[in-house]
Chain A
Amino acid sequence: MVKIHERKFVSADPDKCVGCQVCEYICAWTKEKAFNPLKSRIRVVRLNPLVNISITCRLCEDPPCVAACPRDALTQSEENGTIIVDEDKCNGCGWCIEACDYGAISLHPEKKVVFVCDLCKDKPDGPQCVKWCPEEALDLVTADVLAQKARITATKKLFQEALKVAPPA
């Protein structure tokens, strides 16, 4: 099993993400050769004009989706932590969807089996959503790096005034 600080997933910076859905289109195109956000493994949520972000699988430690599946259709990759769907076993019952706190695993509109981000494992240049996001809002990060980033942002906010007068780092 990979260590948590080695496991990377796609995460959006809420300040940068504008909700443009380019990531959705590109994901659906990459995985399904379709322009159709319903087939995307990353989905944009807009609660109101100010609150929007795109969300995909976080590659949970001890993934609840895997635990929830009554047919053992889901496994977690030893190599990189992504969730692997055995399409023959999955019957689309949706227990995993219910178990996921992020809505990251969804039912395919035609195949009626679940699908989830696999970090574009077949693409040598990595996750296509990250590559295409026009705002550079997406990053392939570990939880550890995410925490570091959050700490830096919080510190900056606390010392905003001081940073204004301090010489550039």
Chain B
Amino acid sequence: MWRKVALYGYAGKILHVDLTTGKTYTEPLNEDYAKKYIGGIGLGMRLWLDNSKAGVDPFSPENPLVLTTGPTSGTVWPTGGNGHAFVSKSPQSYGIGESKSHGSFGTELKRAGYDAVVFHGKAEKPVYVWIDDDSVQILDASHLWGKSPAETEDIIKEELGDYYIRVAAIGPAGEKLVRIACIINEKTRAAGRCGMGAVMGSKNLKAIAVRGTHDVTVAKPDEFLEFVKEFHERMKGPATKKYRTLGTPENVLVHNALHCMPTRNYNNAHFEAAEKVSGEYLNERYVAKIIGCSSCAMRCEHICVVTEGPYKGAMARVEYEPLWALGPYCGIDRLDAIIKGSELCNYYGMDSISAGVIVGFAMDCYENGILTQKDMDGIEARFGNHEALVKLLEKMGKRDGIGDILAEGVKFAAEKIGKGAEKLAQHIKGVEVTGYDLRCLKTAALGFAVSFRGADHNRHGAYAFDVKGKFNRLKYEKGRAKAVKDIEDVYTIIDSLIICKFSRGTYYKEFEDLAKLYTLVTGWETTPEEMRLKGERINNLARVINVREGLGRKDDHLPYKVMHMPIPDEGPSKGAYVTQEELEMMLDDYYEARGWTRDGIPTPEKLKALGMDDLIPIVEAKIKKA
């Protein structure tokens, strides 16, 4: 062993890069933080909190961008070895933003010897940061400005002369502060949500290139490998079959049958042409290869290629959410156009979920006469017009014409447009909705409303209770918040260890399996109950941050149409919507389950119980005011 091991599972070091001064320095990883917040989004949020001031503007140099790995990164843990997370203040929600991505970038960063990198300040000119083990350089990126993340990656590998270097980069959208800009690594993997790419762009930081040569260690390697082997077997089982076969696009027909697939910007919950955009058809016609991330034993990445027609040559990875957003949500029934749309999102570096929802919003505005053809730069933006989709995505990526307004995301775009456009803007905390019709999935509606990073299925997965029939999805009943809370706590653990959420079905008893994993990796004996507490702690941390940034009960809302426009389609969800009364009940129920005040503020007692006494002053100030 050529490097002294201070901590197992962790690299033990945090890198700070000040882009304003060009200085870089490291600090040891605080062991207490590692134990309390694990890594990934947990550690990332804590580092963000420590390195920022309340009320900071997301695009100010004072807003740090935190990049983290998890304790399993760089090990062979199936789906766990490969993730990384970005955390910063979101230019969409103005609360905490976080986004994860998988691939190989995270493993490399861990091998380079870092659990986290904190980017401070703002470079004067476009730069990229080159992390080569202990050597960290800030290099000129003027020649990369305007390039796509994939082009950027290729050029950097070429100029540094090593094809195994991993790169995470922003595209033109991030440079232009498009609020939905993402950060892409390995060409098809995106840290998509919350506009982290725009934050990166605001720092003039085009890319992060990493090479790591150190070994990664775990505390109990033999038992760890046995556990890995066991999970390889589990991952061949039914829990992951979906990802191995049709992939998440399988949801298209499932959601459509239940009439819970928001269509045409929530004008419908059912898509008559669903067959044409189904996972089944996609697989048969467009999937060229299914590939996997580093250390994954399931593989899920369905790479699709268009071989004929106007979009010939388009290639993109396709998942349910982007497919839904760029397809049914815009009334579009052509997979070739959807693949082209995804490719464009990758090219410009935009979150394809948000991008699709914005186009759907624009189309709705157009059909309602709120935006005229002139406003639209001559684009006939009717639902179902795939050419309009492609043009609008391009305009948004370039901030050209109407694209300049749409690049703000539906919330801010609607404010600029006026004329009632707000009623068509389907977002929560400024973050565009995802592919679950919240009018008829009421447990999901709660999960979405309270999600700390805005509208998102990935902070809780509460839709599963509704879709699988565990609860009556059409009616909210008190007591369900407990289930939402529990699953949220699992999800923050998953995102802090950074293991892939697609593996969640392989943990038979979540906290038990995850505690065992954590123990084997770090050597710190951790009980399932302690693991649960860590999950709860991280959710409370996120809430404390949001409270500090001024978010509260009023921001735990649902989009206008969800609360005012009952599902019109004949079928199993007809007439469903969420009433104000229901929403209030959900929130009361949830805050109670969390042990927060009626305003949704974590109480000092709660923070004390979770060992976060140091954060009590933040909430105290707010509770007094409230």
- In the complex, whether A165 has a CB less than 8 A from a CB of chain B is no
Please report which residues of chain B, range 290-307, place their CB below 8 angstroms from some CB of chain A when the two chains form the complex: 290-299, 301, 303, 305
User: What is the distance, in angstroms, from A8's C-beta to the closest C-beta of chain B?
Assistant: 24
> Does the CB pair A18–B288 fall under 8 Å?
no
> Does the CB pair A35–B217 fall under 8 Å?
yes
> Does the CB pair A36–B111 fall under 8 Å?
yes
Q: Chain B: which residue is nearest A47 at the CB level?
A: B163
- Complex-state Cα separation, A50 to B75, whole angstroms: 25
Query: Chain A contacts of B104 at CB under 8 A?
Result: 21
**Pairs across A and B, CB under 8 Å, 5 listed:** A20-B293, A39-B215, A49-B187, A49-B317, A135-B299
- In the complex, whether A69 has a CB less than 8 A from a CB of chain B is no
Query: Chain B contacts of A15 at CB under 8 A?
Result: 289
Work out how many contacts link A and B, with CB atoms closer than 8 A.
80
> Does the CB pair B291–A134 fall under 8 Å?
no
What mask results when residues 218 to 232 of chain B are scored 1 for a CB within 8 Å of chain A, else 0?
100100010001001
> Given A18-B291, A36-B214, is A132 in contact with B232 using a C-beta cutoff of 8 Å?
yes
Contact residue among A20, A39, A110 (Cβ-Cβ distance under 8 Å from B296): A20
User: What is the distance, in angstroms, from B224's C-beta to the closest C-beta of chain A?
Assistant: 10
Chain B interface (Cβ < 8 Å from any Cβ of A) = 2, 74-76, 78, 81, 104, 111, 186-188, 213-218, 221, 225, 229, 232, 235-236, 288-299, 301, 303, 305, 315, 317
> Does the CB pair A33–B221 fall under 8 Å?
yes
> Does the CB pair A50–B315 fall under 8 Å?
yes
Query: Chain A contacts of B218 at CB under 8 A?
Result: 35
Q: Chain B: which residue is nearest A135 at the CB level?
A: B299
Query: Chain B contacts of A52 at CB under 8 A?
Result: 291
- Complex-state Cα separation, A48 to B305, whole angstroms: 13
> Does the CB pair B303–A49 fall under 8 Å?
yes
Query: Chain B contacts of A99 at CB under 8 A?
Result: none
Query: Chain A contacts of B213 at CB under 8 A?
Result: 36, 38, 109
- In the complex, whether A25 has a CB less than 8 A from a CB of chain B is yes
> Does the CB pair A19–B292 fall under 8 Å?
yes
> Given A21-B295, A109-B213, is A35 in contact with B76 using a C-beta cutoff of 8 Å?
yes
- Complex-state Cα separation, A50 to B188, whole angstroms: 11
> Given A49-B303, A50-B289, is A134 in contact with B187 using a C-beta cutoff of 8 Å?
no
Q: Which 4 A-B pairs have the closest CB atoms?
A: A25-B76, A134-B297, A18-B292, A34-B215
Contact residue among B221, B235, B294, B301 (Cβ-Cβ distance under 8 Å from A21): B294
Task: Summarize B's interface: helix, strand, loop or mixed.
Answer: loop
- Complex-state Cα separation, A36 to B11, whole angstroms: 13
- Chain A interface residue count: which class? 20 to 34
> Does the CB pair B232–A134 fall under 8 Å?
yes
> Does the CB pair B299–A20 fall under 8 Å?
yes
Question: Most B CB atoms within 10 A — which of A33, A134, A135?
Answer: A134
Question: Most A CB atoms within 10 A — which of B187, B217, B297?
Answer: B297
Q: Chain B: which residue is nearest A52 at the CB level?
A: B291
Contact residue among A34, A48, A49, A132 (Cβ-Cβ distance under 8 Å from B301): A49
- Complex-state Cα separation, A132 to B295, whole angstroms: 11
User: What is the distance, in angstroms, from A60's C-beta to the closest C-beta of chain B?
Assistant: 23
- Complex-state Cα separation, A159 to B542, whole angstroms: 59
> Does the CB pair A22–B76 fall under 8 Å?
yes
> Given A48-B187, A50-B305, is A35 in contact with B74 using a C-beta cutoff of 8 Å?
yes
> Given A26-B76, A35-B74, A38-B213, is A134 in contact with B2 using a C-beta cutoff of 8 Å?
no
> Does the CB pair A29–B303 fall under 8 Å?
no
Q: Chain A: which residue is nearest B236 at the CB level?
A: A134
> Does the CB pair A25–B295 fall under 8 Å?
yes
- Complex-state Cα separation, A30 to B78, whole angstroms: 17
Given A15-B289, A49-B186, 15 additional A-B pairs, CB 8 A:
A20-B296, A20-B297, A20-B299, A21-B295, A22-B295, A22-B296, A25-B76, A25-B295, A33-B221, A36-B214, A49-B289, A49-B291, A50-B289, A52-B291, A134-B235
- Complex-state Cα separation, A164 to B536, whole angstroms: 54
